[in-house]
Structure 1
Amino acid sequence: MTETLGSTGEFGLIAAVTKSLPQGEDVLVGPGDDAAVLAVPDGRMVITTDLLVEGRHFRQDWSSAYDVGRKAVAQNLADIVAMGARPTALVVGFGAPADLPTAWALELNQGLADEAELLGASIVGGDTVQSDKIVVSVTAFGSLDGRRPVLRSGARPGDEVAVVGRLGWAEAGFTVLNRGFRSPRSVVEAHRRPQPPYAEGPRAAIAGASSMCDVSDGLVADLGHIAVASEVVIDIRSAALAVAEPLQAVAAATGADALAFVLSGGDDHALVGTFEPADVPEGWTVIGSVAEGNEERPPGTVTVDGQPYTSTTGHAHFRN
C-alpha cells in the first residue's frame, strides 16, 4: 500500500524532511523550534519569496517532484544574488492533498536541499498544510557581507547593459511541452530546472554594477523594471543577443520566433545589469545601453534596435 501524506501525518512528514538537512554557519537555531535564528554579520538581511502552484507553474506530467524542488529554490536564490547578496537560508511552505504519495514530498525535499546546497544555503524551517493543489512557497534570506545592495533604481545614462546566463531556453521548453513533445531535451530540461549563474550576482556587485535584476519575467519586461525604477531609457541591440541552436530548432518546428524566446521568455533566471563601460565583468555580454528619456522615448521605455517592442513582453500574473 502506498504511503500518503494522510497516513504519514504532518509531524511525521516534518520529521522526515528535516532530519537530514545540513545547517550552515549562518544558522544559530535550525529546524525544530518555534522559529529559526540566523546570524546577520553586518546588520542587514536580503529577503525574497516566491510561490509555485500546481497547474500554474508546474505540471506533474511535465516535471518530477525533484525538478519542482530545484526550481522552487532556484527562482528565490536568483533574486538574492541579483541584489549582490550571498544566500544563507530558506524556509519552505508546502501545501498538498492528503492522498499525495509521501514519496513525492520527500523527493521534492531532496530537490530543495540539493539546489540550496549549491550555494551553502540552509533550509531552516517552514510549514505544511492540506490543500486542494500542490503549493510550494519558498522564502530565502541572504547576506550582503558588507556590500551595498544592487537595486533596480541605480541605472544611469551612459551605462552599458550586460547579461550573463541563458535566455529563452525555458520558454522554448515550455513551447515544446505545450505541443506534447519532449525534445529538444536541452530546452525541456531548462524549463524543468533552471540554472541561474549564481556566482555572477555578488561578482557583479563587487565589479560596480549600478543596477541588476534576474530575468524571470522576460528580458524586455525585466529591463523595463530597471528603466522605470531608474527613470531612464534602455535600448537592446538584438544583434548582440545569442540565439542558441536549440531555440532556432524549436522556432522552426513550431512556427515561433526564436528571437522572441530570448526577448520575452522568462524562467531562465539569467542576470541582467547595468555598468559603467569599464566595469562590465568578464564573461558578461554587452547587449545594450542606457540613455536619458525625452518626449519621443519617455523615461521607463525599453526599445529593441531603437524601436518599440510590440510582441509579448513577458509574464505577468493576473493578466487577462
Structure 2
Amino acid sequence: MTLTVAQLSESELLARIFPRLHAGSSMLLGPGDDAAIIAAPDGRTVISIDTQVQDKDFRLLWPNGTSSSGFDVGWKAAAQNLSDINAMGAVATAMVISLTLPGMTPVAWVEELAEGLSAATVALGAPQCSMAGGDLSGGSELVITVAVTGSLEGLAPVLRSGAQVGDRIAVCGNMGFSAAGWALHESSILPSEHTPAMAGAAALFARPEPPLSAGPAAARSGATAMMDISDGLLRDATRIAKASGVDLDLDGTVLRQMAQRLEECAVVLGTEPLSWVLTGGEDHGLLSTFPAGATLPEGFVGIGSVVSMSAAGPAVSIDGQYFKSAEDGALGWDHFAV
C-alpha cells in the first residue's frame, strides 16, 4: 500500500524531507528554528521566487504517457530559480521551499522532490547554495514555490535596462530544446519511440540545464544587460528592448543554425524548429548584451546587435523584420494566456 502525506503528521513528513536537503557553505543556521540564518558577506542580497502549479506548469501524467516524477519537478523548481539569480550576475546562497500537497500525494513523491531540488543545486553548479527550510500546507493540487537568495560577490548587478546602441547581443545555454521536449510530452508519440535526439529534448524539458557559471562570467566581462530566457527569446528580448529604450536586431542566419539541431524533432511533430528557438521558454539560458569590442565569455554565441529605437520601438527584429506582438503573449509563454 502506498504511503500518502495524509497518513503522516507535518513533523513526520518534515523528518523525511530535511535529511534530503542540501546544506551549502552559506548556511549559518538551518531548518528547525522559526527562520534560517544565511551568510551575506557582500552586504547585498539578491532574491527571486518562482512557483510551479500542477496542470499549469507541469502534469503528473502527460498525453504521451510520461509521468512527472517528484525528482523532475524538484529539479526544475531549483533550475528555474537558480537561473534568475544567475541572470543578475550573482551566485545563489540559499533556497526556501513552500509545498502545497493534496492528501493523496505519495510520500515517496515528496521525498523524490527534495532529492531533485538538492541534486540539481549541486549538479548545475551551485553547491554553495543551502536548502534552508520552508513550509508545508495541504490543498487540492500540487504547488511548489521556491525562493532563492544570492550574492553579487563584489560585482555590479547586470540589469535589463543597460543595453546600449552598438552592443553585441549574445546567448548562452540551450535554445529551443525545452519547447521541443514539451511538444513531445504533449504528443501521442510514446517515449519508447523516441530517437536519441528526441529523448535528449524530452530530458532537457524535464530537467533544464541553466549555465550557472555564465552569469557571473558575463558580469565580469562587462555585460551591459542580461536576463534569463524563461518565456521565449522574442518575448524576453522585447523586455530588454523596453527596459533599455533600444531595439534588438537578431541575426536570422545564426538562429536558423541553432534550429537545425532540433530538425529531427520538428520533422516528427510536423512543425518548424525555428519557432522553438524564437518562442520556446524554460531552457533558462541567458540573453545578454556586451560592448561591441568585448570578448564574449566562454559559452556565449553572438546573435545580433543593439540598434537605435525605431518609430515602432522599443522592439525586436530579425534581419530588420520587426515583431509587434512579442510582449503581448502571442510570441512566447504567458501564465495567464488562454
Give the TM bin, normalised by the shorter chain: over 0.9
1:294 and 2:310 are equivalent in the alignment: yes
Q: 1:270 aligns with which of 276, 279, 285?
A: 285
TM-score w.r.t. the length of structure 1 is 0.96
Question: Identity of counterpart residues, as a percentage?
Answer: 42
Native 8 Å contact 1:83 1:150 kept in 2: yes
1:4 matched residue in structure 2: 4
| Separation of aligned partners in 2, 1:171 and 1:159 | 28
1:200 matched residue in structure 2: 214
SS of residue in 1 equivalent to 2:188: coil
| Separation of aligned partners in 1, 2:184 and 2:18 | 36
1:65: how far off?
1.1
1:128 matched residue in structure 2: 136
1:240 and 2:245 are equivalent in the alignment: no
2:298 matched residue in structure 1: 282
| Separation of aligned partners in 2, 1:42 and 1:66 | 32
| Separation of aligned partners in 2, 1:35 and 1:54 | 28
SS of residue in 1 equivalent to 2:218: helix
1:20: how far off?
4.2
1:316 matched residue in structure 2: 334
1:22: how far off?
3.8
Native 8 Å contact 2:166 2:305 kept in 1: yes
| Separation of aligned partners in 2, 1:155 and 1:235 | 12
Q: Please provide the CA RMSD for this pair.
A: 1.4
Q: Deviations over 1:66-99 (max 9, x none)?
A: 1110000000000001000001110000111111
1:313: how far off?
1.4
Q: 1:95 aligns with which of 84, 96, 100?
A: 100
| Separation of aligned partners in 2, 1:294 and 1:192 | 39
1:70 matched residue in structure 2: 75
SS of residue in 1 equivalent to 2:80: helix
| Separation of aligned partners in 2, 1:313 and 1:29 | 44
Q: 2:204 aligns with which of 190, 193, 196?
A: 190
Give the direction of change, closer, same or farther, for the CA distance of 1:264–1:22 in structure 2 (3 Å limit): closer
Native 8 Å contact 2:20 2:114 kept in 1: no
SS of residue in 1 equivalent to 2:7: helix
Which deviates the most, 26-35 or 174-183?
174-183
Unaligned 5+ segments in structure 1 are: none
| Separation of aligned partners in 2, 1:68 and 1:169 | 17
Unaligned 5+ segments in structure 2 are: none
1:294: how far off?
2.9
Native 8 Å contact 1:243 1:258 kept in 2: no
Native 8 Å contact 2:70 2:113 kept in 1: yes
SS of residue in 2 equivalent to 1:60: coil
Instruction: Give runs of aligned pairs for residues 101-250 of structure 1, distance below 5 A.
Output: 101-118=106-123, 119-120=126-127, 121-181=129-189, 182=191, 183=194, 184-241=198-255, 242-245=257-260, 247-250=262-265
Native 8 Å contact 1:187 1:246 kept in 2: no
1:175: how far off?
1.0
| Separation of aligned partners in 2, 1:98 and 1:216 | 31
1:240: how far off?
1.1
Native 8 Å contact 1:50 1:75 kept in 2: yes
